[in-house]
Amino acid sequence: MASRPDITSVTNTASGRSIVLVGMMGVGKSTIGKLLAGKLGLDFVDSDEQIEAAAGMPISEIFDRFGESGFRDGERRVIARLIGEGPKVIATGGGAFINDETRALIKEQCTSVWIDADLDVLVERVSRRNNRPLLVGRNPREVLTELAAKRTPCYSQADIHVRSDSGPHSRTVGQILEALA
């Protein structure tokens, strides 16, 4: 039986640094982030929710009005603000870590965790919601395949890499805690 990581040592390892979760849409960053923050006694924030609050509109409208590049610029600024507010667990949108400036900021000031999952798991999860601008009117499997091909080289630069599967998210949280310890 594997021993459980000592939360004190995990907290000390990450002390002073936010833990930023990166990965494809549907991988479970928000759910895993909430659970992880609870285990570590840190606040949790979802950068997409913070972007919507700052812009006063949903992400889909930001995309419609300003395009993906305008969204990514705002996303970078919001993530920089969140990092500057002190240690927390931050779930980012799927494309955040792809932006060179955002990735450099996260790598320099935080501990980045790439949560990865098989394509079938992602397709099943994203099919539950219809609020993902990059999927509107498109086949989720095709879009996710294209995005994974482009994004995996960037995600692979994260400090920690864990796999999520169709099992409980608490299992992925355990993997992250072990890696942090």
Tell whether 16 is in a known binding site.
Answer: no
Q: Is 26 annotated as a binding residue?
A: yes
70 is in an annotated binding site: no
CA dist., res. 128 & res. 149, Å (int): 23
In sequence order, the 6+-apart residues with CB closer than 8 A to the CB of 55 are 62, 74
Q: Is 30 annotated as a binding residue?
A: yes
165 labelled binding-site residue = no
Q: Is 67 annotated as contributing to ligand binding?
A: no
Asked if residue 31 belongs to a known ligand binding site, the reply is yes
Sheet with 110-117, side-by-side order of all strands: 44-46, 89-91, 18-22, 110-117, 160-164
Tell me if 48 is assigned to a ligand binding site.
Answer: yes
3-state secondary structure of 133: helix
Is 162 part of any known ligand binding site? no
23 is in an annotated binding site: no
Residue 132 marked as a ligand binder: yes
CA distance 67 to 160: 31
Give the single-character DSSP code of 98.
Answer: G
Whole-angstrom distance, CA of residue 151 vs CA of residue 146: 9
Bind-site residues for substrate = 48, 72, 94, 151
Bind-site residues for Mg(2+) = 30
Bind-site residues for ATP = 26-31, 132
Bind-site residues = 26-31, 48, 72, 94, 132, 151
